[in-house]
Each structure stands twice: as C-alpha cells, then as structure tokens.
Amino acid sequence: MSYINDVRLVGEITSEPEKKSSQKGTAYLVFDIRTGRFQANGQGKGFWVFQHHRVVVFNQASIDACAGLKLGAWVSVLGELTYLRGANTGQITVSDRLGDARPMFPEHWAPTPDVTDEEIALIAAAEGGPIATKVTDKPKEEAAGGAGRDVDDEIPF
C-alpha cells in the first residue's frame, strides 16, 4: 500500500510573507492564503465559501519567489499537510525535497477583492449551471446554446 500526502492550493495571500530562521539557522518563510469556492443555491443566487491555510516554505527558490509578495497576490502552492509539534494545527509545508510555491501573475497585475460579473459567469458556465450576471441576480439564459451546456476543458496538444 502506498500513502500520498500532496496538497496543491491556488489562492491569494492574506498575511504578509515573513522570513524567519529556526534555532538551527534554517531560513523559512511563513504566510497565509485563502482559497474559495462559489456555492450556488439553485435559485440563481450564490455565495463564496473561503478556507484559510498557513503555508511554511523551506525551499530556497520558493522563498526567493514569494518573499516580496504583497497582500492579495495570487500564489500556487504544492506541498505536504503537516502539523505543528504538540498542537492540532495543520499547515502546508513546502520542503526542499517536495513542493513549490510561486506567484501566479506578474507583479503589475493588481488583484481586486471584488468578484467581477465575468468571473461569476465563467464559474457558472464551468459548473454547467445557468449564467448569472451578479452573485445576487437571477440566472439568464445564454443566447448561444442555452444554459447548462458542457464546457470543453480539454487542452489539445
């Protein structure tokens, strides 16, 4: 039997990355990110559900890539689920042997905390639901093809 402990998260930074050193002098970086999922309630309305995650980075290349990031920057994190010693607190650890943490977009891209109408429509289309123009709006039938059509997400190469 084989065990798997791989965690991949894509989210936005909610605490400034902080460089630290262990008692043995090992450098590491700590920051928090949030991930979210849009929940539709079946009546054309919906809401976002967020989860917050602590990320600890020991991989030097990832430390260099993420050290200067600001609040709201989007990152991709690949690591392991670990727990603090003597505590029941989980965290995602990016070690030298496994994992990576990188910014998702160039520095000049400025994320906004608001979800745009376009993003909501894309989420609804990807989930096969009706297209809504705002989180609180009722669904509108899409002019070409109607609502609920399958979205082809295969990448041809």
pLDDT tens sequence across 89-139: 889 999 988 899 999 876 545 555 566 666 666 766 666 655 444 444 444
Superfamily of the domain at 7-113: Nucleic acid-binding proteins (2.40.50.140)
User: Could you tell me the two tokens for 6?
Assistant: 């791989």
Among residues 47, 64, 151, which one has the least CA distance to residue 101?
Answer: 64
Give residue 31's pLDDT. Answer: 95
Burial per residue of 17-30, b for 16 or more beta-carbon CB atoms within 10 angstroms, e otherwise: beeeeeeeeeebbe
Give residue 62's pLDDT. Answer: 93
Q: Where are the domains of the chain?
A: 7-113
Kindly state the percentage of the chain with pLDDT values over 70.
67
pLDDT, greater one: 88 or 103: 103
